[in-house]
Amino acid sequence: MPTLLLALAVSVLLAGTAAAQTGAVEITNAWARATPGGAENGAAYVTIESATPDRLAGVETPVAKKAELHEMKTENGIAKMRPLGPIDLPAGQPVTLKPGGMHIMLMGLKQQLRPGQSFPLTLHFARAGDREVSVAVEKVGAMRMGDHGGARMPTPMPMPMPMGH
């Protein structure tokens, strides 16, 4: 009987650990900008929140020959992009990869990214393992998921309509 109880306790412990690992990372707002025909590179963006400390170690996708974590910074008025190493994910704090900051660089695109389409992206985490998400492609120039490109203009006030007789 004691061996059975020990085996049951170990099984519950292992199942709980596996459940904690699989539910530890939430990936939301996975999107990319559409690319003009002939473009060799693109970018993807996501928001990641981990329940426990983790690290985004790398990324890959079948739509590009290579995918890397990159960062854009402006120094002395000049925008510079550079590859990043792994990105630390503090417990309970969302980390957003977005235009003008940290992002996923897609190099050697195998196809044009078209608005309304999507593609798979695999994120490699140090603790949570590999996670695949579907990346929604927005219009060229989009600044955030759901942005359909172009400048956001305030809605004009309605003009009074002349009454004609």
Write the CATH number of the domain with boundaries 23-138: 2.60.40.1890
Nearest alpha-carbon partner for 67 in 57, 76, 77: 57
Residues 6+ away with beta carbon under 8 Å from 89 = 25, 48, 49, 50, 53, 54, 55, 56, 95, 125
Q: Domain coordinates of the chain in residue numbers? A: 23-138
pLDDT tens-digit readout, 2-12: 554 444 444 44
Percentage, residues of the chain above pLDDT 70: 72
Q: Is the whole model's pTM more than 0.85, yes or no? A: no
Q: What is the mean pLDDT of residues 8-37?
A: 67
pLDDT tens-digit readout, 121-148: 999 999 999 999 999 999 887 676 665 4
* 51: its two tokens: 């329940």
Classify residue 32 as exposed, middle or buried by CB count within 10 Å of its CB (0-12, 13-18, 19+).
buried
76 or 65, which is more confident? Answer: 65
pLDDT tens-digit readout, 35-64: 988 899 999 999 999 999 999 999 999 999
Whether the Cβ atoms of residue 132 and residue 121 lie closer than 8 Å to each other? yes
Please count the other Cβ atoms lying within 10 Å of the Cβ belonging to residue 88: 13
